[in-house]
Each structure stands twice: as C-alpha cells, then as structure tokens.
Amino acid sequence: MKILFTTDQIYLNGGIEKVLSIKANFLIQEYGYNISIVTTEQKSNPPCYNLSDKIQLLDIGVNYKRNKSYFHPSNIAKTYKHYRRLKDVIKQLDPDVIIVINYSFDFFLMPFLKGKIPLIKEYHGSRFRYHDTRKTKNLYHQLRYKFNDYTEKRYDKIVVLNESEVGFFKSNNIIVIANPTNSTSHKAPLTNKKAIAMGRIAPVKGFEKLIDVWGKVVEKYPDWQLDIYGQDYNGTKNELIDKIKSLKLQNHIFFKGITKDSLSTMTNYSLYLMTSKTECFPMVLLESMSVGLPIISFDCPTGPRHMITPEVGLLVESSDINAFAAAVVKLIDQKSVRQKMGENCKVSVLQYSDHRIMSKWHQLFNSLVDV
C-alpha cells in the first residue's frame, strides 16, 4: 500500500515530527508499506528524527513565511504555486491514501486535488480554543469557520487524539487514535534532585507559570533544580530569562536547549512538569511515562486528563500555581510514592505501544482502500 503524508517540514524538533517518524518507520518495517513524505518548506535541511532510507522525501519548495500568518497576503500569493506542485506530486506518486498532518494550505487544497484517493486529516493540536472562539460575531471569522467546516466534510476520515476532541467537530467522520510510542529499556532511577520540562519555548507552553511554581518549590527545597529543554519561539526564551532573573532563580532554573535523545535525557530526572495552556496528546508525557518518570501537569484542555491517572502522576487545576507547587513538594517529600508512580508509568504506557496504535492505523487504511 502506498501512503503519502504531507506537512510543512520535518527538520524542527517537535511532537508532530517525532510522531510522524515513529509511524512512517513502523508502517515500512512491520507492514511493508510504501511511504512518501511531501513537505512545503524543508529548505534542504535533514530530518530531525531518524527515518528509514526506504521513505521517499520530496520538498516542493513553496517556502511560506513562517513569521507571518498563513493568511497574510505574501503567503496567500504562494498558494497557486503550492497547488500546482502538489498536484504534480500526487500524479507522480499515485498514492492509495493521503494523510494531511499539519494545519496549513495543504488542509484547504488537498480535497480539491486528491480525486478519488481516500483522504485523512490528522489533528495534533486541541480544538478547544478554536471551538470556544466560534461564538464570535465577526463576519470574516464566521466565514472562515464555515469554509473550514466545508473543507473538513470533504475528508474521508478525521483522526483526533482523544475522546474530548470529538465534540469540537461538526463532521460525522471522526475517529480517535492516540499517539504511539516506542518501547524502551530506559528507566529513570528517580534519585536526582532535578525536575524536567520539555517543549517549544512558546507562550502556549506556560513556562512563565512554571517559573513561578519553581520559585515556591525552592523556598522549601533550594537544592532541587529545574531544567527546561526546547527550541525558542519568537524570542519567548529571553522574556522567560528576564523573569527568572527578576525572581533571583538563576541558580535554580536552567534552559538546556534541544536534545535529540529525550528518553536518555529524561532518565536523569525525578519529576516531569507540564504547565501548558492547552495540550492534545503530548508525546513528552508518553516519553516520560515510558522511562518511569512521574508527571505533574495542569489539567489543561484536553489531553493530560486522558493520560494521567493518580497511579502515574498528579493533575492540578489549570493556572493554580500554589496547588502545582504543593504537588511538586508532595512528590519530593514522598520518595516511595514517587517510586511507585514511576513503576506504574512503565506499565500504563504499554497501552500506547507502537504495535497497538499502529494496528489501528492499518485497519483504518484497509477500510478506506479496496484490498
């Protein structure tokens, strides 16, 4: 079976890119699929994550301006080039199924290009904020939402990551398939006096609240350290560094840049912390569970509540900095509880194994294609 994935790029360090690498490699190795990945702005960069040499990588060089909205006039002017090049690629590859991963012009163009080829839209972000803003009376936004609904209905299947997301769609062709994770022998001993957070250094990740949390934690445990891994986004990191300095936390909070071996890195820590404003089904939580690293997270819409049970971590009401700090202190205080959570994480994550999750994708493909 020939599967075509389309996305903007695969060279940046992120959850979407990591999930794609896991899925594409698995489909080749376990099912013998023919996999192609088409990007619009790879710019000759190598993939961030390891991909099988059997995967065909094609970049059509549209190169949208990433520092501007996709709907900025300078980007809209590029859509015809995008349309023509994408049309040529589809004709060349003649796939059995097309999967649109990102939310850019691929999403809007593909239903008008695919012909009779089954088409899947895969959502990685939560629709919570989008659903809430649909109440706007702004005519422009109302028209955008209507066109978005019209486009979604032209997809054969829409894949979302958790049950909470289903209610945010008007389409009746929704299916829930969680993210997969690879099994690993890595195991965090949970003895180091360090906590970790990972993610794009962007406002949506709520790291400014995590800094406030850690300021309260070090009042009781000044020997504990917080490390933050991730790539800066539009200068957010400098703003956070200024906040750290203003709170005199320079000796307690450190930015560590990017790690390509997140599993190995996580084994050096005793807690994973997440203060995001919204998450759908974050890979970092799956990875922390896979190495037996207990989690403390805001109960942000919509993903963490589907992943974190009392056996593997603690959920805290969103934006409640005092409650979050108290949860951290609790797990620092209670080493035995922390250790038990770590053991439970290793067991709980098995439900998201690549074999279990990818069998659902295999079944989906077969349901859409005459085999």
Confidence of residue 169 (pLDDT cuts 50, 70, 90): confident
What span, in angstroms and rounded, lies between the C-alpha atoms of 325 and 175?
37
Pick the CATH number of 194-351 from 3.40.50.10490, 3.90.600.10, 1.20.990.10, 3.40.50.2000: 3.40.50.2000
Does residue 370 surpass a pLDDT of 90? no
What span, in angstroms and rounded, lies between the C-alpha atoms of 6 and 121?
10
> What percentage of the chain reaches a pLDDT higher than 70?
97
Confidence of residue 136 (pLDDT cuts 50, 70, 90): low
The pLDDT score that the predictor gives to residue 65 is: 85
Q: Model pTM? A: 0.91
Give the sheet arrangement for strand 97-100, strand by strand.
Answer: 56-59, 34-39, 2-7, 97-100, 119-122, 157-160, 174-176
Residue length of the chain: 371
Q: What angle do CA 49, 209, 315 make, to 5 degrees?
A: 75
Give residue-wise pLDDT tens across range 22-80: 999 999 999 999 999 999 999 999 999 999 999 999 999 999 887 777 778 888 898 99
342 alpha carbon, distance to own chain's centre: 22
Q: What angle do CA 228, 230, 235 make, to 5 degrees?
A: 100
Domain with CATH 3.40.50.2000 in the chain: 2-179+353-368, 194-351
What span, in angstroms and rounded, lies between the C-alpha atoms of 114 and 118?
8
Q: Which of 211, 282, 276, 275 is nearest to 247 (CA)?
A: 211
Give residue-wise pLDDT tens across range 80-101: 999 999 999 999 999 999 999 9
User: Looking up tokens 């209905």, which residue turns up?
Assistant: 153
Helix 354-368, helix 15-31: angle, nearest 10: 70
Give residue-wise pLDDT tens across range 315-357: 999 999 999 999 999 999 999 999 999 999 999 999 999 999 9
Domain 2-179+353-368 has CATH 3.30.420.40: no
